[in-house]
Structure 1
């Protein structure tokens, strides 16, 4: 694997399924800005772009603590919230209430078949797997659970912007927890790997490693096409600004499942 930058000497290699352990209670400390306040404009924008209507059935895939699901429910949508993380789903249950349709599941093995009008994947929930073909398998599964013409939103980091603006190391204190993050680019800029080290108030150290594929727009369009999707639009942010590679931190992809 050729490297644009070398990892810190202490940075471990992520396992192929790093995401099984990275999204526990610490996740909400590492990403405190990902809250209900930030989710509201994002969910409303997704609803506009995908043409969601009251009563539509939505799959909030990799829903985390359910912050976008909450907004969708308030809009009168029939929401299924799926995530692999039991701790985050527990938080979602508190947020959404006892009647929420929460599913503990793996995005690679969706337990549905052609039942949703739209699927959303917010905040870098795609690109976790070990190969492009494995990522394509996720898209094939999403295509299977969508009705003909169903909409898909994927919220991705912009590759060029990430490479140009990568913060190699950062640290901060949150509620008595000390958090350090080290980041590096690998595979000729195709992947960003982040090591997160957390020291709790008792001095106990916990570490996680995240590995995310950075797709440029042409490659994500090809993947979508191979999974029976047509890419319709890319937005540069949730305000609807035009997408310009390198200028926008996000790549908000809108696609439609084609009829079969």
Structure 2
């Protein structure tokens, strides 16, 4: 059985199976979120956006279609290689570790779809927030779109089998040591595979501690992609606007 738990996100996100399992994600909802977010931030067409942990670039590509100058950055070389086919004069993709400051400044930095809290070392959560702050232009804004862990834990589905493209993904979910785990096992072409997603159960209070340490100003908090008010128990998302 092939398994790699060291920096699980570096190995799992680079496999084709990750993209097969999540192929049905709601692109329309993601685009509406980008519409709502850019309107809320009053971003002009000449302003620059960094899509941090961009994956295969779905948000970056749509933001570019809206007219923005966008850079997508991700640790996954395979994802960046795929996304690079969509590059143009105002859209580029780069391999980058988000724990480190990006070598350019941006008017907005977006970290979307729970692309945070993966790290083996706790200090890398704070390092990433500091790196985001250092990447902002003088009047720039940053956004972290995270899950609402209280809602997720209260509604956790312990066991599930998901059939996608003829592959049966067996999924187990549980909370251990303040991390939300998702064990994923499957067989393809006679080969067994096993991966574990592991995301720290970071609450709003935890983020506020990070922000205080990083000298960051929290400007607004939303609980949905429609930018509704955050409710600790019921909101699906925890969307943080800061500078």
TM-score where L is the length of structure 2: 0.91
Quick one: which of 27, 44, 53 aligns to 2:18?
A: 27
Preserved CA contact (<8 Å) 2:114 2:145: yes
Deviations along 1:53-84, whole A, 9 cap, x unmatched?
A: 11111100000111111121112111010011
CA shift for structure 1 position 101: 0.9
Preserved CA contact (<8 Å) 1:235 1:242: yes
Deviations along 1:141-179, whole A, 9 cap, x unmatched?
A: 111111123111111111110110011111111111111
DSSP-derived class of the 2:217 partner: strand
Question: Which residue is 2:52 aligned to?
Answer: 61
1:88 aligns with 2:79: yes
Deviations along 1:203-239, whole A, 9 cap, x unmatched?
A: 3222211110111112102212322321111111111
CA shift for structure 1 position 248: 1.0
- Equivalent residues, number: 240
Change (3 A) 1:227 1:149: farther
Preserved CA contact (<8 Å) 1:235 1:243: yes
DSSP-derived class of the 1:162 partner: helix
Quick one: which of 175, 193, 217 aligns to 2:181?
A: 193
Gaps of 5+ in 1: 1-11
CA RMSD of aligned residues (A): 1.9
Quick one: which of 113, 133, 141 aligns to 1:123?
A: 113
1:211 aligns with 2:198: yes
TM-score where L is the length of structure 1: 0.86
Gaps of 5+ in 2: none
Question: Which residue is 2:216 aligned to?
Answer: 229
Question: Which residue is 1:7 aligned to?
Answer: none
